[in-house]
Structure 1
């Protein structure tokens, strides 16, 4: 009986601490968007799949550039902050994920966080993943190594996503848009 009670208690703790993925908000005027931690399944679900899949499939990464940073990229953890309501996020996020796929990036090292756009919750997530990270524009792609931020791409690349990633990987003097 003790083992059964212990197993039940552990299950309750696990369920309580598990992150909810792909939480959707529907506003009174019928708009819907994702908030908090999301995954590729969330981006591929409707209505988000309408813009995500098309842009993902129609983008061809620069394979030469990807080959340059592919090995180094796997040493990083990446946080992608986006808004499923944001035109810039809709443009850049599918391309960025396609680049990660082309680079065989370990997707368990990618955290995707969708931010709110409602007035009282603007650019926040329900569990606060953005706190302390100075997220002023979306998308914001932050590269971490050994738990420390190395650099970021903010809103749009300076050149192309591939070129900007390569500059970050090779520690060039990369200064993102809206540098703080």
Structure 2
């Protein structure tokens, strides 16, 4: 009986602390968007899957570049801040995910956070993952190593996503758009 109670207690703690993924907001005028932590299933669900899958399928990864930084990239944790309502996020996010997959990036090291669009909540998430990270444009892709930010790609790459990622992981001089 003690083991059953312990198991139930642990299950309750897990359920309470579990992050809700793919939370969807519908505005008064019917606009839908995701907020907070999301995953690939959320991006592939409708109505987001239509733009995500089309842009994912239409993008050709520079395999040479991806294989060049594949090993180094795996040393990083990445946070991708996006807006499912944002044109730049709709363009860059599917490409970025496809590059990560081509580079065999451990996807458990990727955190995707969708930011709000509503007045008063603009570019925030329900659980505040963006706080202290100076997110001014989306998408913002932040590369962390040993818990510290190394660099970021903001809104769009300077060259290509693959080239910018290589610059970051090989610690070359890289100053993102809208550098702070």
Same fold by TM-score greater than 0.5:
yes
Aligned residues: 180
Shift of 1:3: 2.1
SS at match of 2:120: helix
TM-score normalised over the length of structure 2: 0.98
Q: Which residue of 2 aligns with 1:45?
A: 45
Aligned-partner Cα distance in 2 for 1:11–1:142: 33
Q: Structure 2: where are the runs of 5+ without partners?
A: none
TM-score normalised over the length of structure 1: 0.98
Q: Structure 1: where are the runs of 5+ without partners?
A: none
Q: Which residue of 2 aligns with 1:30?
A: 30
Shift of 1:2: 2.3
Shift of 1:111: 0.3
Q: Which residue of 2 aligns with 1:93?
A: 93
Shift of 1:120: 1.3
Q: Which residue of 2 aligns with 1:2?
A: 2
Aligned-partner Cα distance in 2 for 1:5–1:105: 39
Aligned-partner Cα distance in 1 for 2:2–2:99: 50
- After superposition, the CA RMSD in angstroms is 0.6
Shift of 1:67: 1.4
Per-residue CA deviations over 1:54-109 (Å, capped at 9, x if unaligned) read 00011011111111111100000000000000000000000000000100000000
